[in-house]
């Protein structure tokens, strides 16, 4: 007797710039892993930069995920390597025959969407985790990028953004495409992972950096690049260290091509710091470089900050609030959609160092307010940023677009 042939799953190609430690990659891999029950997924990604760490540990959580590394795909523009990457991606799409190509990131969004169009892929989707329309490049180059993104939007079936403000930026401010072509799917976090062994993880972090329980640890998490404006964080840290008692410690978690520049800034201001290669037990500013267990970091810190001049929807702030950590952040991009100002944290204008210091001072001096913000932050994040909810929305989104194309 002939058995019933199992219906094949729709194929989805995820295409991202690099597989490195960071909010967008954590989100993409977690979501892809949970979509495996309903889709056949292939993840293609490019080469990391020298200062970055490849996030292989994320793939270990989903051993059945198929991945393909494209070494010629690099972040820095290079016509020779970019043409090679284009042909490799073209061959990959022709062989895999996906029904959906879903791109993440600027360069992968350009190459991936053009290849998908040439290969007549039915559904072409792009997610804006952030954008490079300002604060990254010169005004002329930024305008050129906006024009290219408008053209790419025309060949996209749909575009995903992570917050309502991001949608406003894409439609009204930069006029990338119309609102009817944009879907908002908020980020989600793996709540079980962040709840597991919370006290143990806090102890591990604080023992690692010789912190007493009475010490207050304030951190900033992410790539150390100019747009993240770490100098603002350091200016505030130096002022707070100068004006407070000795129990404040400031952690810079991450790495990037601006690390040596901001360390030079500290030396110029005669401020000691500690780093993996420069250990100074007396320092109260600590560079940790990349740490793979981000939940340990959030549980170990007391306040999480962000000082960027341009942001999408920073996952680190959602994770921090889920772990009950109030945040102090610059009010840029989609930050206002993931932090309740005055309830789960504080928002200040970009480059407003005095306002940033004032809000941190409130949280470190008013204990009852800190406790209230901590409770509010956890409840808010738990209610609004579930990874499972993000997966279900994405699954429904894929099926709807596929049906419309049929």
Mean pLDDT of 122-142: 89
Helices and strands in the chain, H and E counts: 15, 13
Tokens of 317: 């702030």
The secondary structure of 113-163 as a DSSP string is HHHHHHTT-SEEEEEESS--SSSSS-HHHHHHHHHHHHHHHHH-SEEEESS
Q: At 162, phi and psi to the nearest 5?
A: -100, -5
The sign one gets for the Cα dihedral 176, 130, 384, 365 is: negative
Q: Where are the alpha helices (DSSP H) in 6-78?
A: 23-34, 56-60
pTM value surpassing 0.85: yes
**pLDDT value, residue 398:** 97
Q: Is the pLDDT of residue 1 over 50?
A: no
d(CA 57, CA 33): 13
What is the third-level CATH fold of 11-188+387-405? Rossmann fold (3.40.50)
**Which residue in the block uniquely carries the two structure tokens 């409840």?**
379
**Cβ-count burial 67-97 (b if 16+ within 10 Å, e if not):** beebebbbbeeeeebbeebbebbbebbeebe
Characterize the bridge pairing of strands 345-348 and 327-330: parallel
Mean pLDDT of 2-11: 71
250 close to 211: Cβ distance less than 8 angstroms:
no
d(CA 253, CA 117): 39
Lowest-confidence segment of 42-46, 132-136, 327-331, 369-373 by average pLDDT:
132-136
* pLDDT tier for residue 5 given thresholds of 50, 70 and 90: low
**Which residue in the block uniquely carries the two structure tokens 């959030």?**
298
Q: Is the pLDDT of residue 149 over 70?
A: yes
Taking the domains of the chain in order of start, what are their residue ranges?
Answer: 11-188+387-405, 191-384
The answer to whether 11-188+387-405 and 191-384 have equal CATH topology is yes
Lowest-confidence segment of 52-66, 146-160, 328-342 by average pLDDT:
52-66
What is the third-level CATH fold of 191-384? Rossmann fold (3.40.50)
């Amino acid at each position: 007797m002939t058995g019933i042939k199992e219906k094949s799953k729709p194929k989805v190609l995820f295409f991202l710039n690099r597989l490195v430690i960071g909010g967008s990659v954590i989100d993409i891999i977690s979501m892809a892993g949970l979509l495996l029950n309903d889709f056949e997924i292939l993840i293609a990604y490019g080469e990391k930069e020298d200062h970055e760490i490849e996030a292989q540990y994320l793939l270990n959580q989903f051993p059945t995920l198929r991945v393909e590394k494209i070494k010629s795909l690099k972040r820095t523009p290079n016509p020779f390597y970019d043409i090679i990457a284009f042909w490799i991606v073209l061959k990959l799409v022709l062989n895999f025959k996906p029904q959906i190509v879903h791109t993440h990131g600027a360069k992968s969004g350009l190459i991936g969407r053009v290849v998908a169009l040439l290969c007549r892929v039915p559904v072409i989707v792009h997610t804006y985790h952030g954008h490079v329309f300002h604060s990254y490049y010169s005004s002329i180059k930024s305008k050129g990028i906006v024009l290219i993104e408008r053209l790419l939007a025309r060949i996209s079936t749909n575009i995903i953004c992570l917050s309502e403000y991001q949608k406003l930026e894409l439609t009204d401010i930069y006029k990338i495409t119309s609102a009817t072509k944009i879907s908002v799917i908020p980020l989600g976090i793996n709540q079980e992972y962040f709840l597991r062994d919370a006290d143990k993880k806090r102890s591990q972090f604080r023992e690692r950096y010789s912190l007493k329980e009475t010490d207050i640890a304030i951190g900033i998490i992410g790539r150390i690049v100019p747009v993240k404006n770490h100098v603002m964080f350091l200016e505030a840290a130096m002022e707070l260290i100068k004006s407070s008692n000795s129990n404040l410690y400031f952690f810079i978690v991450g790495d990037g091509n601006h690390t040596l520049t901001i360390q030079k800034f500290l030396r110029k201001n005669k401020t000691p710091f500690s780093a993996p290669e420069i250990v100074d037990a007396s320092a109260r500013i600590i560079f940790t470089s990349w740490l793979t267990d981000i939940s340990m970091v959030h549980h170990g810190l007391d306040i999480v900050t962000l000082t960027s001049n341009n942001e999408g929807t920073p996952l680190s702030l959602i994770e921090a609030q889920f772990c009950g950590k109030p945040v102090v952040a610059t009010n840029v991009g989609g930050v206002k959609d993931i932090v309740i100002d005055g309830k789960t944290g504080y928002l200040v204008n970009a480059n407003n160092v005095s306002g940033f210091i004032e809000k941190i001072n409130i949280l470190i001096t008013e204990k009852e307010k800190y406790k209230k913000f901590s409770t509010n932050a956890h409840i808010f994040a738990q209610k609004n940023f579930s990874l499972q909810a993000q997966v279900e929305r994405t699954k429904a989104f894929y099926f709807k677009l596929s049906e419309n194309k049929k």
